Amino acid sequence: MPGVSSTTVTRRFLNKLTDCAPARHRVSQATLLAPSASTAVLLVVFALVLAACDRTESSRTASGSGTLPAPAAAQSAADSAARRSADSAATMAAVRDTATARRLSPAADSIAPYLVFAPTEQRSFVVAVRNKQWLLDVGRMDLDVRKDSAKARAFREAATVLTPVAPRSVFRLAWGKGAEDVHADSFAVYNGRIVMRVFGSAELDNAARISGGLAAIAIRADSAAAPAATACELRIDPDSAARAALAALKPAERKAQAVARKAADSAYDARATAVRDSLDAELRVEHPPYERLQRRTKSTWSQVRGCFGAARRALVVSVRAGDAEWVRERLVLIAPDGAVTMLKVDDLRFRAHDLLTAFDADGDGVDDLAVKGTTQRAGGTAILRVDLMKKRAERLAAGFAWEVF
């Protein structure tokens, strides 16, 4: 360079080298300025080092100004997301402490971590008859409080504060006799589930005392709107005109009607039996892959009456091996004229299903199915919505789950 000595340039290189080199690799300027036969080679090396230091300084400047290369920006974004998640968790914990801990006694606060409730936004809940009472499933209880009265009191206190379903909440209950408004109150624990007692009409309570296999669905609905009347003739009680017409019939005419109705039911039963045997034979063509399962294969079936378009019966036939480890299943609808409609079951959690009852759960005029679902070492109660257009039965709600460890 004109006007600049080689010694000055070399000192500049040395200063840069000293700044960017680690301490353990630094050498003195006197050593580097010692005479050498390869001075040109050293100058080239110094030039490369200077260029690397300039790039490092540029990166530091960009970092200080907020501009990052693409990989570094992605890593920073991931770290920021992780920090936001951690901050959110800490915020939620703080909210819980300030909002609930001050309202809970020490005993209730010690029970609270074992309560797992349904999401706050959930609108549909499964209701079932247990111990001759209608119970609403709202969550899971991970601690046994049945044998300790102090723990039971603490549970009820914590559940009242933490529940997403406030006591005395009003629901629109759809069940086998139609739809009506009910309210849920009084927390309890049943088989590891957090439940609320459901109070409704006298007919609803009588049905719970008579039959123990009933299930229904409770939906958060506008109680100002009147419940939709059932359109299924199987659940419509005869009105005064129909009763008067029946009373006006002669004994011989009433007997003839009863005989005709019995004959039609017998033919319907025979058709359902033939369909059941046919499905069972079809399912048994395929065998479980293991010999231990082949020795434990059994067939099960169940049917319920309802209004499924033209069909009036739903039938499910399954071949199971082991503890629902291997299952093959068919769900069909049977019309009075013998027509059969196959439905695909869309329930990913449960492999096998037993029909409990039929009712219109969503108010579309087509009955849906309440089933007892089972899988390997687990089970529960589910509501399957029947879609005649798609020929599917898909899960609408589930509850009263149980597991065996």
How far apart, in whole angstroms, are the C-alpha atoms of residue 217 and residue 127? 5
Query: Max CA-CA distance within the chain?
Result: 135
Backbone angles phi, psi at 112, to 5 degrees: -55, -40
Q: Residue range 296-303: average pLDDT?
A: 94
What pLDDT does residue 36 have?
Answer: 47
| Pairing verdict, β 340-346 and 392-403 | parallel
pTM beyond 0.85: the answer is: no
pLDDT in tens, 326-356: 999 999 999 999 999 999 999 988 999 999 9
Query: How does residue 302 score in pLDDT terms, banded at 50, 70 and 90?
Result: very high
How far apart, in whole angstroms, are the C-alpha atoms of residue 400 and residue 192? 9
How far apart, in whole angstroms, are the C-alpha atoms of residue 142 and residue 152? 13
The answer to which of 85-89, 145-149, 182-186, 268-272 has the lowest mean pLDDT is 85-89
Structure token digits, residue 4:
């600049």
What pLDDT does residue 37 have?
Answer: 44
Q: Residue range 41-54: average pLDDT?
A: 59
What pLDDT does residue 130 have?
Answer: 93
How far apart, in whole angstroms, are the C-alpha atoms of residue 202 and residue 348? 37
Q: What angle do CA 102, 108, 114 make, to 5 degrees?
A: 115
Q: Which of 59, 32, 60, 57 is nearest to 46 (CA)?
A: 32
User: With contact defined as beta carbons under 8 Å apart, do 276 and 268 qualify?
Assistant: no
Decide if pLDDT at 45 tops 90: no
pLDDT in tens, 211-225: 878 999 999 876 666
Helix axes 6-20, 39-65, angle to 10 degrees: 50
The answer to which of 37-46, 72-81, 304-313 has the lowest mean pLDDT is 72-81
* Residue with token string 């501009």: 67
How far apart, in whole angstroms, are the C-alpha atoms of residue 393 and residue 307? 14
